[in-house]
Structures are given as structure tokens and as C-alpha cells.
Amino acid sequence: MSLRLGDIAPDFSADTTQGPIHFHEWLGNSWGLLFSHPADFTPVCTTELGKTALLKGDFERRGVKVIAISVDDLDSHNRWTPDIKDVTGTEVNFPIIADPERKVAELYDMIHPNASEKATVRSVFIIGPDKKIKLTLTYPASTGRNFTELLRVVDSLQLTANYQVATPADWKDGDDVIVTPAVPNEALAEKFPKGVTHVKPYLRVTPQPNK
């Protein structure tokens, strides 16, 4: 059965390009970004892992650990990573899980038979410090992911986890946010001292509370 938002991310042990890991232990109290790619030595994946390496510091500043996976073995990963550096100018600075027996891929439902019987699709899982899945995305093999968008999603998830707000369409860090319907009007002044604008009875907007 497919994993759903709020499910505990399955734990596993695996070999990676940075040594063996136990996934939950490796995550610790951090947020996690687990993303799969169809295969090593493929063009779109090469650009994706290079972009992720470039943005690793941005993820770290948000307390997010990044890890990739495909059904290739460790030797293949290690032979491929120099290509990523050559193409993108960035050393791969995060672990890539080797999953030749597809154990992790099947645990996370990354094998979609309608797309491929043997390759992982472009899946993304954002996992909270409570080990629960906060976001899932699946892309076709032909479409590279927008990792800047994943940073934006992390900003939204971390903000909304700590305040009773939601983020509107095209929101980015620093923009106004929406007060959730669970907050009664009489509690607005205390909870949102920067002020609240009533756009509609069901739509109340306030400056981002942690800025």
C-alpha cells in the first residue's frame, strides 16, 4: 500500500556512498529529504544530484538532511559521482543509497510498473523530526525536479508546524500567511500581534509570525 502523509517513514538499513546507515538513526532529530532517481549515468539525474549538492548548505540551514537512492549498486554510484562533478562543478556531498535488490524502493513504493518494472520513479519524501512523512511528490522520468521549490516547501512545512497558519499560493519565505480557521477571532490579537487583515470571513492574513 502506498505511503500517505502522516505515516511513519519506514526504517531500513542500507549501504551508501558515505558508509552504511540505519535510516531513522541517521535522521536523528533532523528533517529529511529522501529522493529517488531512475538510474545512474542518466542525463536528468546527473543535473538533479548536482543541483542538490549545490543547495546542500541551504537544506542544512533548515535542519534538513538530504539523501538520494536508486536501484544501482555502490560501485555504480561511485563511478558516476565524478561525472556529476564534471557536469555541474559540484562534488556530491550527501549520501546515495545503493538499493540493487530494490528493498528500499519497494518499501517506499518507488517502483511503478506502469512506468518501469525495474527503475525507481522520481519520488520525493520530506520527513519531519517525528519520522512522519510530511510531503510526497512523484515526477515522470523525463521531468527534472525543482529543488528550489523543495526548499520553499520545507520553509512552509516548518513554519506551519510551529504556528497556526497556512501558506497561500506562490508563497515564499517572508510573505504574508493565512491564519487557520481553527483560530477564533477573539484570539487573533494575542496570537498575531503584528495584526490581521480580514479579506473574507474565512480568509484572514497576517505577516509571517517568525520574521
- For the entire predicted model, the pTM comes to 0.92
Decide which of 45 and 120 is more confident.
45
205 is catalytic: no
Q: What is the CATH number of domain 13-145?
A: 3.40.30.10
pLDDT tens figures, 168-191: 999 999 999 999 999 999 999 999
φ, ψ of residue 46 in degrees (nearest 5): -60, -45
pLDDT tens figures, 67-113: 999 999 999 999 999 999 999 999 999 999 999 999 998 899 887 65
Query: What are the grid coordinates assigned to 123, written together?
Result: 519520488
At the topology level of CATH, where does 163-206 sit?
Antioxidant, Horf6; Chain A, domain 2 (3.30.1020)
Q: Where are the beta strands (DSSP E) in the chain?
A: 13-16, 21-22, 31-36, 64-70, 96-98, 122-127, 133-139, 165-166, 177-179, 197-200, 203-206
- Marked catalytic residue, from 27, 45, 110, 177: 45
pLDDT tens figures, 17-55: 999 999 999 999 999 999 999 899 999 999 999 999 999
pLDDT of residue 17: 97
The full set of domain ranges for the chain reads: 13-145, 163-206
